[in-house]
Amino acid sequence: MKGSFLRSTSIVGAMTLLSRVSGLVRDMMYSRMFGTSPAMEAFLVAFKIPNFLRRITGEGAFSQAFVPVVSEYKLKREHAEVDALVAGVSGTLGLLLFVATAIGVLAAPVVIFLYAPGFESSGDRHDLAVEMFRWMFPYIFFISLTALGAGVLNTYGRFGTAAFNSVILNVVMIVFATWIAPHFARPGIGLAVGVFVAGVIQLIAQFRGLSRLGLLSWPRWAWRDPGVRRIGKLMLPGIFGSSVAQVSLLLDTWVASFLLAGSFSWMYYADRLVEFPMGVFSIALATVILPGLSAHHAAASPERFNATLDWALRLTCLVSLPAAVGLLMLAGPLIAAIYGYGKFGARDVDMASYALMAYSLGLMGFSLVKVLAPGYFARQDTRGPVRIGIIALSVNIAFNLVVVVPASRLGFPAPHALLALATGLGAYVNTWLLYRGLVKSGVYVPTARWRQFAWQMLAANLAMAAFLWWASGGWSEWVAWRATARIFRLALCVAGGGGVYAAVLWLTGLRLRDLRAV
């Protein structure tokens, strides 16, 4: 088992890196061709709703309830029983999703109004968002069943196949944005059709891996099956607890619909850059450790459970903290070099940079929640994160009401950045309460390695921050440069910052072998 989690995380991270790079190309096409136009704003709002539900089913409550039960079946029962469970869950979930999808499509005008009420004053954005939503909402049906297949593959150690799936969405959307959507009378509708097509292809892509495992049986309705009911009971309370960050983003969208035109786009492009390191590493790591923690719990091995969680937390800090520092110090250059072309002007660069700086401050909180939550879900405890999630969400709402709304009415120039800051604050509250709960219950005891590790991290990040401050220069200069000059300078900053960070870690005594002991 030694090093296996690191190898699996590397595989998932590599596949997710490919996904994030292709996603970055996709977003660059969005910004160049649509900028912050009403069509782009409507698309982002309409797609956020099924994307929010995807996060719950793909990376949240469903996977965190499904994977531990499947892991237990795999460890303690016959293969035929695992196959029956997968067929029962897919049939039951599939029918419920089909009904929910039909209701969502019919209720599209109401959903868009509730989600972005500020659009009502702009008829074009509202009507366009409704039509786009009707094309994109069925995506939740396809991607939820895709998440089910990915959970099975991950349980059997087939992480690469499942992780590659998100690349499919990006490739399809690049094709539609570049070559297909421009031929539509309203190009935004072409983007929405692309989402629908991508969902179908992602689901079909799971079939081969499941077939090789002998787990591609015909779905069946099986609500009375004990395993299916157990997953349902674990999932329902976890829906809220595992998706607090997503609920916070929904609230941000609701408030942002009343802010300056372009706020959705500025926050979206900034959020995509923050999700890059989180997706490549934090989500990949959480995906890998959940089956392992579930197996340790099922085998009654608290020592290995503790060692795995401790290792995951150290690795998360090692990667996510410098990523947060880098995004903060290079916010302007990153936005200018990646998005600042075509219809995405200098003002858009500035406003998106403010949002990126605010989001970067919360990156550690977002990342640690991803790693701490499996410590609960692996033990089939979904109620604890629910209580914690309610508290964190309340803090976020309070900040929006007390700070963001008054600041917007008083003329604060970038109120959307305060929305991003509120989301990060909620994530840190969530992180602290999850951590405290694990420690107080005796499930997790921090190891002695943390004292030296903390000083190594502090020194390395301070050195990297100083280098990036010197190397990035004045941000206003970046917009005036050619694309090649921006990218070259950014590459030097990133490579140099990474080199300084790694060098200081090595000089303070950190070695690769220190990251393999699981």
User: 79-106 and 139-155 helices cross at what angle (nearest 10)?
Assistant: 160
Asked if residue 216 lies in contact with residue 207, where contact means CB atoms within 8 angstroms, the answer is yes
Task: Quick: pLDDT tens for 345-401.
Answer: 899 999 999 999 999 999 999 999 989 989 998 898 877 887 888 898 889 889 988
436 exposure class (CB count in 10 Å sphere: 0-12, 13-18, 19+): exposed
Task: Quick: pLDDT tens for 296-348.
Answer: 888 888 999 999 999 999 999 999 999 999 999 999 999 999 999 988 989 99
pLDDT at 306: 93
Residue 34 has pLDDT above 70, yes or no: yes
Which pLDDT band, with edges at 50, 70 and 90, does 61 fall under?
low
Quote the CA–CA distance of 463 and 321 in Å, as a whole number: 13
Residue 1 has pLDDT above 50, yes or no: no
Max intra-chain CA distance, the chain = 65
pLDDT at 200: 97
Quote the CA–CA distance of 330 and 336 in Å, as a whole number: 10
Token pair for residue 138? Answer: 């069925």
Question: Which residue would you say has higher pLDDT here, 13 or 459?
Answer: 459
Quote the CA–CA distance of 443 and 210 in Å, as a whole number: 34
Tracing tokens 């937390």 back to the chain, one arrives at 313
DSSP secondary structure of 376-419: HHTTT--HHHHHHHHHHHHHHHHHIIIIIHHHHHTT-S-HHHHH
Domain that holds residue 379: 4-515
* Residue 443: its H or E element: none
Quote the CA–CA distance of 420 and 394 in Å, as a whole number: 15
Q: How many domains does the chain have?
A: 1
8-state DSSP, 282: I
Mean pLDDT on 177-182:
92
Closest CA to 333 of 293, 273, 253: 273
Mean pLDDT on 110-118:
86
Question: Which residue would you say has higher pLDDT here, 413 or 389?
Answer: 413
SS3 state of residue 48: helix
Q: 3-state SS of 408-440?
A: HHCCCCCHHHHHHHHHHHHHHHHHHHHHHHHHH
Mean pLDDT of all residues belonging to the chain: 88
Residue 99 has pLDDT above 80, yes or no: yes
Quote the CA–CA distance of 302 and 308 in Å, as a whole number: 10
pLDDT at 246: 60
Residue 6 has pLDDT above 70, yes or no: no
Segment among 172-186, 266-280, 334-348, 480-494 with least mean pLDDT? 266-280
Residue 13 has pLDDT above 90, yes or no: no
pLDDT at 335: 96
pTM: 0.80
Closest CA to 89 of 35, 142, 33, 152: 152
DSSP secondary structure of 468-498: HHHHH--GGGGGGS-HHHHHHHHHHHHHHHH
Q: CB under 8 Å to 453, separation ≥6 — which residues?
A: 314, 317, 510
Question: Which residue would you say has higher pLDDT here, 8 or 331?
Answer: 331
N- to C-terminal Cα distance for the chain?
A: 7
Task: Quick: pLDDT tens for 443-495.
Answer: 999 998 899 999 999 999 999 999 999 999 988 889 899 999 999 999 999 99
Question: Which residue would you say has higher pLDDT here, 317 or 234?
Answer: 317
Proportion of the chain above pLDDT 70, given as a percent: 92
